[in-house]
Amino acid sequence: MKILAIDTSCDETAVAITDGRKVIANAIYSQVLIHKKWGGVVPAIAKRAHEERIDLVINSALSKSKIKNQKSKINLIDCIAVTQGPGLAVALEVGIKKAKELADKYQKKLIAVNHLEGHIYSVFAQNRQGKPEREIKFPYLALLVSGGHTELIIFKDHLSYQVIGETIDDAAGEALDKAAKMLGLGYPGGPIIERLALEAENSDQFKFPRPMLHSPDLNFSFSGLKTSFYYFLKKQKKEKSFGGPRVLRQLASSFQEAVFETLIKKTEKAIMETKINNLIACGGVMNNKYLRKLLRHLAKKHHGQVLFPPYKYLNGDNAAMIGLAAYYKFKKKKFITDINTLDRIPRMQLTTIY
Ligand code: KG4
Ligand code: ZN
């Protein structure tokens, strides 16, 4: 059951070929270098870059797939899957248009996938040899942390989700990116902050606020933390106490600590409320080794376990995860019946598919 999956939700042009949970081929063209000089993703530039590269990335995935029939590899694909949302409207459009074109030209069925369910399914991806095996045992409590999202979700069964907490303003990854920008560091900021924090002598010297930690719900907020960081830096600069690599490391580390402690505490609250101690941790911020350590520790404390995406390329945006989610939709025959009606949903919610 081979699926060709496309994701153009943000700044990666991603195409993958999957077979059940196995990823047969994965191709990504990252636009990070293009957006770097602007300090963030510029939608119009993202759209152009997707349009320019999409065919190339599709061909790259097909040739990496080692499907035997050289001339018409795409004929051996059973179905096309594409991300419908959430994401940047103009970027999503490029992938959807291409998916419709392929489905129409090669007479393939089309499946629409929510980008967030893709991230959740990413932890069950396997290599060509079917490794890791990871039997799927519901229910899971999923923590999805990326540049666009911070969500706590009960993953009840295949395609069945309940969002129990989310950010009311900035996403955790976005907060890290903005803090890095204020410190004059590069983009994306998460990995740079991680590196600096590793070398800091005291991980939490400046004690920035932990927003919403005592709110009764499971929601997150990172905008207040960002503001407090901004004013702290302003004051430091005025007093001329800012500067020097040592202070920079302490600042990066203290900011990261505030973000991660919030994530951990809210996840712990969710574990206690839902009584689910099997965690899924996904999204680009899960590249962070320190956050992984904190989550492993948390799961152990509650006698559970945590699953991360098994290969590094599955943490950030990719189309392999879209192919995986699409496989479970395929099994339930959740096809787009009239491909002309398929349209992007930039603010698409994660809802259960019955
Ligand atoms: O999932 P992703 O690649 O794209 C979105 O869907 O947003 O996530 C990107 C986010 C960025 O905010 C980036 O700074 C963050 O993931 N990130 C990290 C690390 N690597 C990427 N954050 C912390 N530590 C990292 N090592
Ligand atoms: Zn994403």
282-325 per-position pLDDT tens digit: 999 999 999 999 999 999 999 999 999 999 999 999 999 999 99
Residue 70 lies in a domain: yes
User: What angle (nearest 5°) sits at the alpha carbon of residue 36, between those of residues 30 and 41?
Assistant: 70
- pLDDT tens readout for residues 71-83: 677 888 999 999 9
Q: First-to-last CA distance in the chain?
A: 21
Q: Minimal CA–CA distance to 19: which of 38, 4, 36? A: 4
- 298 with 170, same domain: the answer is yes
- Write the DSSP assignment of 1-17 as a string of letters: -EEEEEE-SSSEEEEEE
Q: Minimal CA–CA distance to 61: which of 46, 75, 73? A: 73
- 57 with 127, same domain: the answer is yes
Residue 346 lies in a domain: no
Ligand 1 binding site (Cβ under 6 Å of any ligand atom)? 10, 146-148, 173-174, 176-177, 188-191, 194, 283-285, 287-288, 316-317
- The number of the ligand 1 atom at minimal distance from the alpha carbon of 171 is 12
- The number of the ligand 1 atom at minimal distance from the alpha carbon of 11 is 4
- 105 with 67, same domain: the answer is yes
- 95 with 17, same domain: the answer is yes
- 187 with 255, same domain: the answer is yes
**Mean pLDDT (the chain, rounded):** 94
Domain count, the chain: 2
Residue 268 lies in a domain: yes
pLDDT band at 105 (very low <50, low <70, confident <90, very high): very high
CA torsion through residues 43, 172, 13, 341, sign: negative
- 200 with 214, same domain: the answer is yes
Domain span holding position 287: 140-308
- pLDDT tens readout for residues 38-94: 877 888 988 999 999 999 999 999 999 987 665 677 888 999 999 999 999 999 999
**Ligand 1 midpoint to CA 303 (Å):** 28
Residue 351 lies in a domain: no
**Ligand 2 midpoint to CA 141 (Å):** 18
- 31 with 167, same domain: the answer is no
- 304 with 317, same domain: the answer is no
- The number of the ligand 1 atom at minimal distance from the alpha carbon of 149 is 7
**Ligand 2 midpoint to CA 318 (Å):** 8
Q: At which residue do the structure tokens 């996904």 appear?
A: 282
**Ligand 1 midpoint to CA 106 (Å):** 35
Q: Minimal CA–CA distance to 354: which of 160, 168, 205? A: 160
- 192 with 281, same domain: the answer is yes
- 104 with 216, same domain: the answer is no
Residue 217 lies in a domain: yes
Res 122: pLDDT: 98
Question: Could you tell me how many helices (H) and strands (E) the chain has, helices first?
Answer: 10, 10
- 169 with 293, same domain: the answer is yes
Residue 215 lies in a domain: yes
- 248 with 289, same domain: the answer is yes
Q: In CATH, what number is assigned to the domain containing residue 153?
A: 3.30.420.40
Residue 166 lies in a domain: yes
Residue 106 lies in a domain: yes
Per the structure block, which two tokens stand in for 59? 């061909």
Q: Residue 175 contacts by C-beta under 8 Å, 6 or more apart in sequence?
A: 222, 223, 225, 226, 259
Q: Residue 35 contacts by C-beta under 8 Å, 6 or more apart in sequence?
A: 11, 41, 42, 45, 46, 187
